[in-house]
């Protein structure tokens, strides 16, 4: 049987999103950004972040990739949807729900760099540096978390539990 223990409250998430949005807005003051959310997990975080930014958001687009089956990474990145926005010469902010091994974001960043943006920054809601197998470090991070499988705030377990407003650790009876 699965249990879901609250790890980060809705209020803590709201506060941290505002704080990170203020930092991004400060860094891009006087410029606009193209926000690219990574589907499906980052859709809620992307919406909250965009609403909190004070710099002009030129456009919001999404890319969809997958590397998970259940709670395990397959290590293989499958692209399901590319962006439709031309990012050449523009400031790009990639918004991800969680960075684990770093493979997905490293590949995405490289793919977008080939399109000649002015800059690329990465913002994640949750970072698990203990699982990193690449040298990728996000430019903006809301929460650094331990190596636990979490759901809520857009993150899922086999497509479920994205609707939790807080973040919860998934554990089983034998844990």
Among the listed residues 48, 97, 100, 156, the single catalytic one is 100
DSSP string, 90-128: SEEEEEEEEESSSHHHHHHHHHHHTT--SEEEEEEEEE-
**Residue 14 bears catalytic tag:** no
Closest CA to 58 of 90, 80, 26: 90
Which residues have CB under 8 Å from 69's CB, separation 6+? none
Q: Which residues are catalytic?
A: 100
């Amino acid at each position: 049987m699965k249990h879901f223990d609250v790890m980060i409250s809705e209020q803590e998430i709201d506060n941290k999103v505002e704080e990170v949005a203020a930092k991004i807005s400060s860094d891009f003051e006087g410029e606009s950004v193209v926000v690219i959310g990574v589907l499906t997990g980052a859709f809620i975080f992307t919406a909250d972040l965009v609403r909190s930014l004070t710099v002009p958001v030129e456009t919001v687009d999404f890319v969809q990739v997958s590397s998970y089956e259940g709670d395990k990474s397959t290590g293989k990145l499958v692209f399901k949807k590319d962006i439709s926005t031309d990012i050449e010469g523009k400031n790009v902010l990639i918004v991800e729900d969680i960075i684990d091994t770093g493979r997905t974001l490293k590949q995405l960043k490289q793919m977008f760099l080939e399109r000649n943006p002015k800059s690329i920054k990465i913002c994640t809601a949750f970072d698990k540096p203990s699982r990193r197998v690449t040298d990728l470090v996000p430019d903006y991070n809301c929460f650094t978390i331990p190596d636990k499988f979490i759901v809520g705030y857009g993150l899922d377990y086999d497509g479920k539990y994205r609707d939790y407003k807080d973040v919860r650790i998934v554990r089983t009876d034998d844990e």
